[in-house]
Amino acid sequence: MENSANNEYSQGKLKSVETEGKTPEEAIEKALAILRVTRNEVRIKILSEEEKGLFGMDGARPAKVRATVIKKSQKQA
């Protein structure tokens, strides 16, 4: 996914991406890296929080976020 996402972005097609991580912050960082933008240039929507496994172990369900690049006209609003 990441390779095709990077290819689409370089062609100016990629405007939004969904990523997963151990925490929402990790998922956001992954999305920013794929889109090659800063936090101020995207709108973040947390689709799901992470859920811990049995006895607090990682891995039951990762956090999932959607990052959408904000158009210049939307930034000014």
pLDDT digit string, tens, across residues 39-51: 999 999 999 999 8
> Model confidence over 13-24: pLDDT tens digits?
679 999 999 999
Q: What range defines the domain where residue 13 resides? A: 2-76
> Model confidence over 27-41: pLDDT tens digits?
999 999 999 999 999
- The whole-angstrom separation of Cα 59 and Cα 55 is 11
Sheet with 42-48, strands from edge to edge, namely 16-21, 63-69, 42-48
Nearest-CA neighbor of 22 among 46, 49, 42, 40?
A: 49
> Model confidence over 57-77: pLDDT tens digits?
655 899 999 999 997 655 554
8 vs 32 pLDDT, higher one = 32
Domain count, the chain: 1
pLDDT at 3: 45
